Chains A and B, each alone.
Chain A
Amino acid sequence: GAGVSQSPSNKVTEKGKDVELRCDPISGHTALYWYRQSLGQGLEFLIYFQGNSAPDKSGLPSDRFSAERTGGSVSTLTIQRTQQEDSAVYLCASSLAQGAGEQYFGPGTRLTVT
Chain B
Amino acid sequence: GNSVTQMEGPVTLSEEAFLTINCTYTATGYPSLFWYVQYPGEGLQLLLKATKADDKGSNKGFEATYRKETTSFHLEKGSVQVSDSAVYFCALSDNPGRRALTFGSGTRLQVQP
- A106: B residues at CB distance < 8 A: 43
Q: Which of A42, A45, A105, A107 contacts B106 (CB under 8 A)?
A: A42
The range of chain B's interface size is 20 to 34
B24 to chain A, nearest CB (A): 16
Which residues does chain B contribute within 8 Å of A26, judged by CB atoms? none
Contact between chains at B103 and A43 (CB < 8 Å): yes
Contacts of B36 in A (CB 8 A): 105
B32 adjacent to A101 (CB under 8 Å) = yes
Q: Check A33–B44 contact: CB distance below 8 A.
A: no
| Interface residue A56 (Cβ < 8 Å from any Cβ of B) | yes
Given pairs A45-B100, A55-B97, A105-B44, 17 additional interface contacts (CB within 8 A)? A33-B99, A35-B101, A43-B101, A48-B99, A56-B98, A91-B43, A93-B44, A100-B51, A101-B93, A101-B99, A102-B46, A103-B46, A103-B101, A104-B46, A105-B45, A107-B43, A108-B43
- 28 example contacts (A-B, Cβ-Cβ < 8 A) are as follows A31-B99, A42-B104, A42-B106, A43-B101, A43-B103, A43-B106, A48-B98, A55-B97, A56-B98, A91-B44, A93-B44, A93-B101, A95-B99, A100-B32, A100-B51, A100-B93, A101-B96, A101-B101, A102-B32, A102-B34, A102-B49, A103-B46, A103-B101, A104-B46, A105-B36, A105-B43, A106-B43, A107-B43
- B residues adjacent to A (C-beta < 8 A): 32, 34, 36, 42-46, 49, 51, 89, 93, 96-106
